[in-house]
C-alpha cells in the first residue's frame, strides 16, 4: 500500500477515493512523488444524474445576478488560498512564480470578470436573443428567440498546462449559466485543479453537486453523457479525434467545444521599422519562455521579410540567451521545467522533426541548468530554429509543445500571409508594424483563419496584453486545426451553455418574456 496521499474525487455532492492503485504525480524538477489520483470504482452514471437532477435545478432557481454573486464568493475563497496554489504549481508544474501566476491569477481574474459580467444580466432566468419579428402581415403573431440554460451538465476534459485557468475559464460561464460542472483535469497536474475544487466545495458556496472533480483515468466519462449535456475538451488533436468519434457526440448529439493544438504565428510586416522588429523579438522570446512554451497560444512560427531574417534571428537569440533555466525555487531562474518526462521527450522528438528542415539559430542546450540535475529535471533551454526555405510542410504542421519556435522568411506580403495560413487555422496570430492601414489590412486578411489577431504597433507597446495571454473579454479558440472551438469573448461564452429556441406567439405572450 502506497504511503503517498491519494486525492479524493468529488461527485454527486460527496467525496470518494478511487479503489485502485492510481497514478502518482511527480515533481518535474526533483523527480519526487507528490500525491496520487485515481477514479477507479466511481459510479459516474449516478454522479452525473445527481448533478442533472439536483444541482442543475438548484442553480437555475437562482437568477444570473445571484449566480454571479456565487462566482464572486468562490473567487474570494480561492484568493485566500493563493499561497497553497503557488506551492502546488511549483512542485507539480515546475513553474517559476511569474508563470504560475499566468495559470493561477489568470484563472481568478477570469472568474472575477464573469462575476462582474453576470451582474449585468440581473434577475433574469433566461436571455433574449435579438428582437421579436413579425411572421406575417398582422403584427399580433411574432417570433422571439430566447436562450435557455441547458438542463444537462458540462463535462470538462482539460489539458495539463492550465490546471487553474483551464478550470475557471470554463466553469465561470457554465455556473453563471446555471449549469453544473464536472471537471476531469489532465492527470500529470491534477493536484491544483483538485485542491481548488476542494476549497470551493468545502466553502459551501454552490448547491451540492454543482462542482465535481474526477481525477485519473477518463474511462467511462463520455459514456455517461446524455443528449442535453455538453462537453468541453482541451488537449491534443489526437485525443480530440478520439472524442469526436465517440457515440456521445456521433450518436447522442452531445454538444462539444474542442480546443486543440495550434501552430500560432507572429508576422512582421514589410517596412515595419526598427521599433516593430524589437517588439516582435521581445514577444517571440517571451512566448517561447513563459511556462517553458507550454501554452496553446504560444508563438511557434515567426515570419519576417526576407531582408530582415538575420536581424530578427540575432534580436530573438540575444533575448533568449539571457534566460536562466532550472529549479523554479531558485530566485535567479526565469524559466522552470517542462511538465513531465514524457513532455520532455515529446519536445526532443518534435525538435528532431523540425531539424530535418531547419537549422538551430539559438541552441537551448547551451543553457546550463541552475540548481537542477540534468539527468532528473525536465528542463530544456529555449531553442530558436530557422530555415531560409519556408516551404517544407513539417515547419507548418508540427506543434512542439515547449520552448521552441521557427523563424521563416517571406517574399511579398501576400506570400507571408499565405504562409501564416498554412497553420490550417490557429488560435492566434500577432502582427507587428507601424502604419494603421497596413496593420488593419493584415488583421482582416488573417481573421477568418484565427480566433484572435493581436496587432502590435509602437503606440501600444506598453499597453498590449500579450500575444499568448487569453483575456476573458476576447474570444479564445480557433478554426480548423485549432479545434473549431469558441470560448470566452465576454458574455458570448454563455451561448455554449444555453439552447436557442424561437417562441412563436401572440405579442402579449412574448411581451412577458
The binding site for ligand NAP (CB under 6 A) comprises 157-162, 184, 186-187, 218, 234-236, 239, 242-243, 259-262, 296, 399, 401, 427, 482-483
Q: Among residues 169, 259, 283, 287, which one is catalytic?
A: 259
Between 59 and 260, name the residue whose CB sits nearer to ligand NAP.
260
Query: What residues are paired with 33 via a beta bridge?
Result: 26
Number of neighbours of residue 378 by Cβ within 10 angstroms: 25
CB of 396 within 8 A of CB of 385? no
The residue whose grid cell reads 462575476 is 115
> What distance in Å separates the CA atoms of residue 321 and residue 363, rounded to the nearest whole number?
9
296: annotated active-site residue: yes
b/e 106-132 (16+ beta carbons within 10 angstroms → b): bbbbbbbbbbebbeebeeeebbeeeeb
Between 23 and 327, name the residue whose CB sits nearer to ligand NAP.
23
Q: Least distance in Å: CB of 459 to ligand NAP?
A: 29
Q: Least distance in Å: CB of 188 to ligand NAP?
A: 6
Helix axes 64-80, 190-202, angle to 10 degrees: 120
Of the chain, the end-to-end C-alpha distance in Å amounts to 59
Q: Least distance in Å: CB of 64 to ligand NAP?
A: 25
5: annotated active-site residue: no
Q: Least distance in Å: CB of 133 to ligand NAP?
A: 36
Q: Least distance in Å: CB of 419 to ligand NAP?
A: 20
Q: Least distance in Å: CB of 215 to ligand NAP?
A: 8
Distances (CA, A) of 165 to 159, 235, 394: 11, 14, 31
Between 210 and 339, name the residue whose CB sits nearer to ligand NAP.
339
DSSP letters, 433-447, are: -S-HHHHHHHHHHHH
CB of 322 within 8 A of CB of 357? no
> What distance in Å separates the CA atoms of residue 114 and residue 72, rounded to the nearest whole number?
8
CB within 8 Å of 359: residues ≥ 6 apart: 385, 386, 387
Q: Name the grid cell of 335.
A: 524559466
Q: Name the grid cell of 161.
A: 498546462
CB within 8 Å of 473: residues ≥ 6 apart: 113, 488, 489, 490
Q: Among residues 169, 283, 296, 378, which one is catalytic?
A: 296
CB of 503 within 8 A of CB of 146? yes
Q: Least distance in Å: CB of 106 to ligand NAP?
A: 12
The residue whose grid cell reads 528542463 is 379
The residue whose grid cell reads 541552441 is 363
Between 50 and 184, name the residue whose CB sits nearer to ligand NAP.
184
Residues designated as active site: 259, 296
Amino acid at each position: 500500500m502506497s504511503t503517498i496521499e491519494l486525492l479524493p474525487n468529488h461527485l454527486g455532492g460527496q467525496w470518494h477515493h478511487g479503489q485502485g492503485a492510481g497514478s502518482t504525480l511527480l515533481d518535474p524538477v526533483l523527480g519526487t512523488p507528490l500525491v496520487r489520483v485515481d477514479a477507479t470504482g466511481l459510479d459516474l452514471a449516478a454522479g452525473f444524474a445527481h448533478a442533472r437532477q439536483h444541482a442543475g435545478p438548484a442553480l437555475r432557481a437562482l437568477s444570473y445576478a445571484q449566480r454571479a454573486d456565487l462566482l464572486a464568493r468562490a473567487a474570494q475563497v480561492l484568493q485566500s488560498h493563493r499561497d497553497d496554489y503557488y506551492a502546488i504549481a511549483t512542485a507539480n508544474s515546475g513553474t517559476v512564480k511569474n508563470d504560475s501566476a499566468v495559470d493561477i491569477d489568470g484563472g481568478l481574474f477570469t472568474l472575477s470578470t464573469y462575476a462582474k459580467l453576470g451582474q449585468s444580466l440581473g434577475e433574469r432566468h433566461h436571455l433574449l436573443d435579438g428582437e421579436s419579428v413579425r411572421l406575417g402581415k398582422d403584427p399580433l403573431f411574432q417570433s422571439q428567440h430566447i436562450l435557455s440554460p441547458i438542463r444537462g451538465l458540462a463535462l470538462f476534459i482539460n489539458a495539463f498546462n492550465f490546471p487553474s485557468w483551464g478550470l475557471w475559464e470554463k466553469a465561470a460561464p457554465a455556473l453563471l449559466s446555471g449549469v453544473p460542472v464536472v471537471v476531469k483535469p489532465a492527470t500529470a497536474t491534477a493536484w491544483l485543479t483538485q485542491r481548488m475544487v476542494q476549497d470551493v466545495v468545502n466553502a459551501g458556496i454552490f448547491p451540492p453537486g454543482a462542482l465535481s472533480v474526477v481525477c485519473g483515468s477518463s474511462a467511462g466519462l463520455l459514456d455517461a453523457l446524455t443528449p442535453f449535456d455538453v462537453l468541453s475538451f482541451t488537449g491534443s488533436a489526437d485525443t480530440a479525434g478520439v472524442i469526436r468519434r465517440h457515440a456521445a457526440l456521433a450518436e447522442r448529439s452531445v454538444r462539444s467545444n474542442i480546443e486543440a493544438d495550434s501552430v500560432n504565428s507572429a508576422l512582421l510586416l514589410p517596412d515595419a521599422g526598427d521599433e516593430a522588429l524589437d517588439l516582435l523579438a521581445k514577444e517571440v522570446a517571451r512566448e517561447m519562455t513563459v511556462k517553458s512554451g507550454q501554452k496553446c497560444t504560444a508563438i511557434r512560427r515567426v515570419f519576417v521579410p526576407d531582408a530582415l531574417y538575420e536581424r530578427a534571428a540575432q534580436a530573438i537569440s540575444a533575448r533568449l540567451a539571457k534566460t536562466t533555466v532550472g529549479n523554479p525555487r531558485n530566485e535567479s531562474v526565469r524559466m522552470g521545467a517542462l511538465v513531465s518526462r514524457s513532455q520532455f521527450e515529446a519536445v526532443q522528438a518534435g525538435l528532431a522533426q523540425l531539424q530535418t528542415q531547419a537549422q538551430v539559430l539559438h541552441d537551448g542546450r547551451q543553457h546550463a541548468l541552475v540548481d537542477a540535475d540534468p539527468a532528473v529535471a525536465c528542463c530544456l533551454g529555449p531553442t530558436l530554429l530557422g530555415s531560409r526555405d519556408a516551404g517544407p510542410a513539417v515547419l507548418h504542421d508540427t506543434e512542439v509543445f515547449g520552448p521552441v519556435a521557427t523563424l521563416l522568411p517571406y517574399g511579398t506580403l501576400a506570400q507571408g500571409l499565405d504562409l501564416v495560413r498554412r497553420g490550417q487555422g490557429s488560435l492566434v496570430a500577432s502582427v507587428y508594424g507601424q502604419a494603421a492601414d497596413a496593420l488593419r489590412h493584415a488583421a482582416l486578411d488573417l481573421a477568418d483563419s484565427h480566433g484572435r489577431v493581436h496587432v502590435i504597433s509602437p503606440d501600444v507597446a506598453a499597453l498590449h496584453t500579450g500575444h499568448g495571454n487569453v483575456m476573458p473579454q476576447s474570444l479564445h479558440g480557433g478554426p480548423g486545426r485549432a479545434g473549431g472551438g469558441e470560448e470566452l469573448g465576454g458574455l458570448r461564452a454563455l451561448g455554449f451553455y444555453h439552447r436557442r429556441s424561437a417562441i412563436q406567439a401572440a405579442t402579449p405572450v412574448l411581451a412577458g418574456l
